[in-house]
Amino acid sequence: MIVTEMSVAMSARTEPVRAFLENPIFLSAVSSWFVAQLLKMVIVMLRGRGRGYKRSRRELAEIVAWRTGGMPSSHAALVSSIATSAAFLEGINSNLFVVSLFLAFIFMRDAMGVRRSSGVQAKTLNIIGRQLAEKWGIDYHPIKEVHGHTPLEVVIGMFLGIFIAAAYAYL
């Protein structure tokens, strides 16, 4: 009797977590992000192969885990997947779809605009900082160069997210 009560109590606690992890919007979003990052890693590997440069396993794991920039945009894939999944599940007249659509636009615009320009500025500041450090012998610590996306990288990521969300909706 006690074991049955405990299993019922455990089931009641884990049911919301299970429902969350089985949610089609969650699954398509995570899948879109992960597939985009894997494709990014494959593209980096193929580009390096022609130059005779072999990437370390650590560097490849870093690309999959959190590297920004590059083809395709995992940000665009993720947010377009969320909006597309919301459209399929809730309809295009739902509040969830409208909010997710506009957030997707904001994220994709940010990836091409603000993050890209701040990365270019950081790269330039690092060049200037290194030159000044060499010339004047001062200590310079480079700033992080955040990599944004080109419009093509964002569009490819967007289509990837739409395709994966549609696959979840129909399969």
Could you tell me which residues come within 8 angstroms of residue 135 by beta carbon, excluding any fewer than 6 positions away?
none
Question: Over 70: is that where the pLDDT of 64 sits?
Answer: no
pTM metric for this prediction: 0.75
Both tokens of 44, joined, read: 């980096």
pLDDT of residue 7: 58
- C-alpha pair distances (Å), 72 with each of 136, 145, 153: 41, 18, 5
Question: Over 80: is that where the pLDDT of 109 sits?
Answer: yes
Question: What are the sequence ranges of the domains in the chain?
Answer: 2-113+148-170
pLDDT of residue 98: 97
